[in-house]
Amino acid sequence: MAVLEVNHLKKIYTTRFGGNKVQALTDVCFTVEEGEFVAIMGESGSGKTTLLNILASLDKPTAGEVLLRGTPMSTIKEGRLAAFRRQHLGFVFQDFNLLDNFSVEDNIYLPLVLDGRQKYEEMRARLEPLAQKLSIADILKKFPYEISGGQKQRVAAARALITNPDILLADEPTGALDSKASGALLKLLAEVNREGQTILMVTHSAKAASRAGRVLFIRDGEVFHQIYRGGASDDDFHRQIGHAVTVSAAGAAGKAV
Amino acid sequence: MRKLSFYPKLAMGNLWRNKSTYLPYLLACVVSVFTFYTMLAINLNGALDGIRSESVVKSFTAIGAIILALFCSALIFYTNSFLAKRRKKELGLYSILGMEKKNIGIVMFFETLLIAAAALVLGLLLGLLLSRLLFLVLLRLVQYEVTVDMPVSYSAIVITIIFFGAVFLLALLSNLRQVRLANPIDLMSGARQGEKEPRASWLLTLIGLGCLGGGYFIALYFRSPSEALMMFLVAVFLVIIGTFCLFTSGSIALLKLLRRNKNYYYTPRHFISVSGLIYRMKQNAAGLATIGILSCMVLVTVSATVCLYVGAENSLQTQYPSEYELSFDVAEDADTLLTGARQVAVGTGVELADLWDYRIGSLTTLESGGAFNSVADFDSISSMTMIGLMPLQDYNASMGENTTLAGDEALLFVTGGSYSGDTLTLDGTTYRVTHLDQLGTQKSGADDLGRTILLVLPDMDAVERALEARPEAVRQARPTETVMRRALTFNLSGDEAAKAQFLSGYEAFIAGLSTNGYFQYLSREGNRVNWYATNGGFLFLGIYFGILFLLAAALIIYYKQLSEGYDDAGRFEILQKVGMSEGEVRKTINGQILTVFFLPLVVAVVHIAVAFFPVSRAMVLFGVRNTPLLALSTLFTVLAYALVYLLVYRRTAKTYFRIVRRQAATA
């Protein structure tokens, strides 16, 4: 069964006094299977962030439906949404979103503590292998302002993964990192994915997308193209994506004319 | 022409857009102007010249105006600097958009001008409307019944305008200096860098605990009124140090201790609050401690003055058991004054009642094991006992009784302490004593300044023998004591107007008297005027400043919360993304604001509860022995304070939520 199923998603923003209507998503359909690593690519303003917010249940669609493991998100009660989010979804953001008044360790525990169902020892037991894998074991006692951007993003990844989420949602995870840290993080995500973690990543970087198994291209609120890695190497896939982006730009230009 | 109206318009727009921060500022300025003008206008009111309590009222209002000037300017500077800090980013934007520093300065000038003008106009208007009312309240409090007019005081208006003009000008200059020093990039990056986690100093925490404990112990331990007053100051000092240490270090130490307890810390309810509070306390500890201590002082002052004022009658009754009390070295003076009193009484239509006319000798003694020995000197009021000696004949005559006493018997009446023995030894002579529970309207055992024992001896010979028995050294050091004094006390019966006539008539009679002996005259009525003038003035100032201080404290906390709201918005946005529901966010925020807001109040209330005991003992020095009354006035004051505090809290919490929500929505 698909982990995530997105059916005919539509989102229209209305400005406060009802004047302007902005169609952020026109008609988005796709599914993500168990263990897949999917990247969604698009320019700024293409509707990526809106899509991710809806998938994260932070926003509601105007029409259409999102199903997580067959459960429609619209059937979840408002009061249960936050709990749903922390139990089933993991997030990695472009600007890390770590809390500066918590140590690295406490930042990672945050979703578990909010859930309130686990003792400290259990949380600790979960953290240890994760910290090894993400090579953050030696900075657990530090505070976010004491560590580098790459480390911060690995901490954010640990925070997202510690709940064993059904799907990891990553919003431009490399956007604030230098190329070396970006490479390392992407390698990590690929590794995590190989171990079975389903990942959905939104990005406008072809390099980042080239690590995924499948890339969806979104433009003007619609998925207009998708390519599969198949057996291609990262570099080959990178080229294919580059090509698709060029075509897409040309298509957009053609449409504009 | 267009250029001329551009700046004021921009300034107006700026103020309007920042109204959630500028309105409270304007309110503070208006109240400052209003209170300052009112105090000054009362002080400068020429109509006060020549009224009975003129000097008291004048000095109270003069002191009041000076304190107000300091307080208001501090408040305005503080608020202004807070507002300027908040707006750095906006000014940076103007700068980047191409506004020169000069132009920004002009905008700021107009902003200050608008605020100053609004504050002065509204404040003075309010002052003109309400100063007459407040003046009447003051006159009522000092019990001055004759209506005195309260004309508009032009000099007070001018002084107010000049003073606040200068304050606003200085505030503007400090803002301009900031703009001149900063470059646009600095102005733009208002965001904080990651803050270091505060360290908990165990040493300071221990010092704080020690000081607080010591202060409390001293406050509760020293029981005698005279000592208590002195030690109270030491206790206050210790408690202030203790409070500051505990707020700055103790709170963080406690929070870190809680954090170390993993089973407590890693639960949804405590996780966010504890770590959030560690940072909050770091930024706010000193401010909160100050607010706590000042609140405590204001509350103690107000409740004590309320108690003194309300308990005035009671206190006058105990301090002056009789309406008139006269005592003399020269016995003949008593006859003259008594005759005089009778004449004035007939003239004014009152009658002398409860007339006591007695001879009394007084000794200063120290007690050791039931034996009292006369001394020439004593270390402190609390260790000595005053002993009055009265012959039975005078006692029977004054009381209208027919008591008889054997040669070694005496009647004993004690105030300001207790003495329960069946015998009493004075300078070697032992008397078998019969205890009296009441003397006229006075009850025995009433709290007083030091212990006073009245011994009624069988006859005048016995009194003289007792005086002769004093050691030689004492007799030489204080020879005047050997002189028996004669005392007169009496009340009046008649209507109030006639009594007032008697007071002035009798005072005129006494003033015209010539005597070469020592002569003391006390009248309850005469003292009532002073009492009300002083305590009424105290009460007026106490309440006036209490309200003003409350306003300032609330304003400061309000601004602190706002600035934290901007800082916290990002944090709560993250929490929501990670899976905290809005309800949980709300609960957590509420908990934090509640703590920051009410911690100073709780601390103040605890301090007051402890201070209650020394204060009630100190009240004895002012003649108020009514502990339930003090308890009631304290309770009432604290409740009134807490109520206003609560209102400000709710307003603050609302604004805070709006900020957090709006920031989260636009992010």
pLDDT in tens, B42-86: 888 776 666 666 677 777 788 888 888 888 888 888 888 888 877
Which among A18, A41, A22, A33 is positioned nearest to A249, based on CA atoms? A41
Per-residue pLDDT at B164: 95
Res. B604 pLDDT band, cuts 50 70 90: very high
Nearest to B193 among A102, A123, A145 (CB): A145
Q: Mean pLDDT over residues B92-97, rounded?
A: 76
Task: Convert the pLDDT of each residue in A175-205 to its tens digit.
Answer: 888 888 888 899 999 999 999 999 999 988 8
Which H or E run contains A228? strand A222-228
Nearest CA in chain B to A105: B266
Instruction: Return the biggest CA–CA distance within chain B.
Output: 107
φ/ψ of residue A61, rounded to 5: -75, 155
State the DSSP code for B199.
Answer: P
**B578/A159 touch (CB, cutoff 8 Å), yes or no:** yes
- For residue A160, what are its two tokens? 């997202």
Q: Mean pLDDT over residues B567-596, rounded?
A: 80
**A101/B583 touch (CB, cutoff 8 Å), yes or no:** no
Q: Give CA angle at B323 (B319, B326), nearest 5°.
A: 85
**A82/B577 touch (CB, cutoff 8 Å), yes or no:** no
**A110/B271 touch (CB, cutoff 8 Å), yes or no:** yes
Task: Convert the pLDDT of each residue in A123-138 to its tens digit.
Answer: 999 999 999 988 899 9
Which H or E run contains B71? helix B54-86
Higher pLDDT, A185 or A246: A185
Res. B608 pLDDT band, cuts 50 70 90: very high
Q: Mean pLDDT over residues A106-134, rounded?
A: 89
Q: Cα–Cα distance between B346 and B351 in angstroms, integer? A: 7
Higher pLDDT, A205 or B95: A205
Which ranges of chain A does DSSP label H, i.e. alpha helix? 48-55, 81-88, 104-115, 120-133, 149-161, 179-194, 206-209, 234-256
Per-residue pLDDT at B1: 44
Taking residue A71's Cβ as centre, other Cβ atoms within 10 Å add up to: 13
Instruction: Return the biggest CA–CA distance within chain A.
Output: 62
Q: Report the gap between the CA of B281 and the closest CA in chain A (Å).
A: 12
Question: Is some CB atom of chain A closer than 8 A to the CB atom of B479?
Answer: no
Residue B124 has pLDDT above 90, yes or no: yes
Q: Give CA angle at B348 (B346, B352), nearest 5°.
A: 55
**B580/A82 touch (CB, cutoff 8 Å), yes or no:** yes
For residues B402-411, b (16+ Cβ closer than 10 Å) or e, as one string? eeebeeebbb
CA distance to A202, B294, B632, B642, per residue, from B600 (Å): 48, 9, 22, 11
State the DSSP code for B191.
Answer: S
Cβ proximity of B440 and B356 under 8 Å: yes
Question: Dihedral sign, CA of B221, B225, B227, B228?
Answer: positive
Question: Is some CB atom of chain A closer than 8 A to the CB atom of B258?
Answer: no
Residues above pLDDT 70, as percent of chain B: 88
Q: Mean pLDDT over residues B595-604, rounded?
A: 88
Q: Mean pLDDT over residues B441-463, rounded?
A: 75
Residue B209 has pLDDT above 90, yes or no: yes
Taking residue B581's Cβ as centre, other Cβ atoms within 10 Å add up to: 20
Task: Convert the pLDDT of each residue in B404-449 to its tens digit.
Answer: 888 888 888 888 777 888 888 888 888 888 888 877 767 665 555 6
**B577/A102 touch (CB, cutoff 8 Å), yes or no:** no
Which H or E run contains B535? helix B524-578
Per-residue pLDDT at A16: 63
Residue A120 has pLDDT above 50, yes or no: yes
Q: Give CA angle at B305 (B304, B307), nearest 5°.
A: 65
Residue A257 has pLDDT above 50, yes or no: no
- For residue B504, what are its two tokens? 């002035």
Instruction: Give the residue from A58, A77, A99, A104 with the most B CB atoms within 10 Å of its CB, the best one to mutate.
Output: A99
B371-374 vs B423-426, strand pairing mode = parallel
Q: Cα–Cα distance between A27 and A42 in angstroms, integer? A: 15
What is the 3-state composition of chain A as percent helix, strand, coil, each rounded to the nearest 5? 45, 25, 30
Range with the poorest average pLDDT among A242-251, B206-215, B386-395, B398-407: A242-251
Q: Which residues of B touch A106 (CB under 8 A)?
A: 271, 275
Higher pLDDT, B618 or A114: A114
Look up the ipTM and state it.
0.79
What is the 3-state composition of chain B as percent helix, strand, coil, each rounded to the nearest 5? 70, 10, 20
Res. B187 pLDDT band, cuts 50 70 90: low
Range with the poorest average pLDDT among A186-195, B179-188, B522-531: B179-188
Q: Report the gap between the CA of B196 and the closest CA in chain A (Å).
A: 8
Which among B616, B636, B638, B642 is positioned nearest to B308, based on CA atoms? B616
CA distance to A240, B227, B235, B365, B379, per residue, from B376 (Å): 112, 21, 32, 8, 11
Q: Give CA angle at B540 (B539, B541), nearest 5°.
A: 90
Nearest CA in chain A to B280: A101
Nearest CA in chain A to B568: A99
Q: Cα–Cα distance between B322 and B491 in angstroms, integer? A: 6
Per-residue pLDDT at A199: 94
Residues above pLDDT 90, as percent of chain A: 28
Range with the poorest average pLDDT among A106-120, A175-189, B189-203, B325-339: B189-203
Q: Mean pLDDT over residues B361-373, rounded?
A: 81
**A79/B276 touch (CB, cutoff 8 Å), yes or no:** no
Res. B667 pLDDT band, cuts 50 70 90: very low
Which among B577, B262, B194, B259 is positioned nearest to A143, based on CA atoms? B194
Residue B191 has pLDDT above 60, yes or no: no
Q: For chain B, what is the mean pLDDT?
A: 81
Q: Cα–Cα distance between B23 and B250 in angstroms, integer? A: 36
Which among A209, A171, A175, A177 is positioned nearest to A190, based on CA atoms? A209
Q: Cα–Cα distance between B441 and B554 in angstroms, integer? A: 48
Per-residue pLDDT at A138: 92
Nearest CA in chain B to A157: B578
Q: Report the gap between the CA of A176 and the closest CA in chain B (Å).
A: 17
Q: Which residues of A touch B579 (CB under 8 A)?
A: 82-83, 85-87, 89, 111, 114-115
Task: Convert the pLDDT of each residue in B142-165 to its tens digit.
Answer: 777 666 677 788 889 999 999 999
Cβ proximity of A225 and A39 under 8 Å: no
Q: Cα–Cα distance between B601 and B291 in angstroms, integer? A: 8
Question: Is some CB atom of chain A closer than 8 A to the CB atom of B383?
Answer: no
Q: Which residues of B touch A115 (CB under 8 A)?
A: 268, 579
DSSP for B216-235, please give it.
HHHHHH--SHHHHHHHHHHH
Query: Look-up: residue for tokens 């911060």?
Result: A152
Question: Is some CB atom of chain A closer than 8 A to the CB atom of B275?
Answer: yes
Which residues of A make CB contacts under 8 Å with B?
56, 58, 79, 81-83, 85-87, 89, 91, 93, 97-102, 106, 109-111, 113-116, 119-120, 123, 143-146, 159
Q: Mean pLDDT over residues B159-180, rounded?
A: 89
Residue B232 has pLDDT above 80, yes or no: no
**A58/B584 touch (CB, cutoff 8 Å), yes or no:** no
Number of inter-chain CB pairs under 8 A, A vs B: 83
Which among A113, A68, A66 is positioned nearest to A86, based on CA atoms? A113
